């Protein structure tokens, strides 16, 4: 868990890392066009645990409901700051993308060299020139 102070409002958000379940639930209920928020905004908001050291339930914030009504009174700068910080902490970055791409290339190379089963006989996809 992390606690940050928002730059404009000076409110403190305590938030946790997202889980796959958070993302699944967000995507099931996501209505971004109606909320005016992007899916990653909604995911970040769902992970807020406390505001100014008070559990979100005590401040009238329902993470399973409409997060737009909660963020409506915050400066846009604060929302952008929090979502960007959340993304840097928890979502894949350029290094992660590069590593995934390298691993995928290695796997594709291994696939091209592995035998392919056709019926009862295994044949190789690689050709030999001898």
Share of the chain above pLDDT 70, in %: 70
Number of domains within the chain: 1
3-class state of residue 13 by DSSP: strand
> Rounded distance, CA 65 to CA 15, Å?
17
What pLDDT does residue 87 have? 92
What pLDDT does residue 28 have? 77
Query: Which tens digit of pLDDT belongs to each residue from 67-115?
Result: 557 777 889 999 999 999 999 999 888 888 899 999 999 898 876 766 6
Query: Structure pTM?
Result: 0.70
Asked if the structure places residue 43 within a domain, the reply is yes
Contact call for residues 101 and 109 (beta carbons, < 8 A): no
Asked if the structure places residue 59 within a domain, the reply is yes
Asked if the structure places residue 109 within a domain, the reply is no
**DSSP for 23-42?**
HHHHHHH--HHHHT--HHHH
Alpha-carbon separation of residue 121 from 104, 113, 125, 128 (angstroms): 28, 16, 13, 18
What pLDDT does residue 26 have? 78
**Mean pLDDT in residue range 7-28:** 91
Asked if the structure places residue 129 within a domain, the reply is no
**Cα pseudo-dihedral 38, 44, 46, 48, rounded to 10:** -150
Parent domain of 27: 2-94
Asked if the structure places residue 17 within a domain, the reply is yes
What pLDDT does residue 25 have? 81
Asked if the structure places residue 118 within a domain, the reply is no
Asked if the structure places residue 48 within a domain, the reply is yes
Asked if the structure places residue 119 within a domain, the reply is no
Contact call for residues 9 and 78 (beta carbons, < 8 A): yes
In the block, residue with structure tokens 């997202």: 18
Share of the chain above pLDDT 90, in %: 38
- Compute the mean pLDDT over every residue in the chain, rounded to the nearest whole number: 79
* Higher per-residue confidence, 66 vs 58: 58
């Amino acid at each position: 868990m992390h606690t940050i102070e928002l730059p404009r409002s000076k409110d403190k958000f305590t938030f946790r890392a997202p889980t796959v379940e958070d993302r699944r639930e967000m995507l099931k209920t996501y209505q971004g066009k109606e909320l005016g928020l992007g899916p990653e905004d909604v995911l970040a908001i769902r992970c807020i645990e406390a505001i100014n050291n008070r559990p979100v339930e005590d401040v009238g914030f329902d993470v399973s409901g409409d997060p737009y009504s909660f963020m409506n009174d915050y400066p846009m700068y604060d929302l952008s700051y929090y979502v960007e910080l959340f993304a840097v902490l928890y979502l894949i970055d350029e290094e992660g993308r590069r590593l995934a791409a390298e691993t995928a290339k290695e796997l594709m190379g291994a696939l091209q060299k592995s035998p392919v089963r056709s019926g009862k006989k295994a044949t190789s996809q690689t050709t030999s020139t001898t």
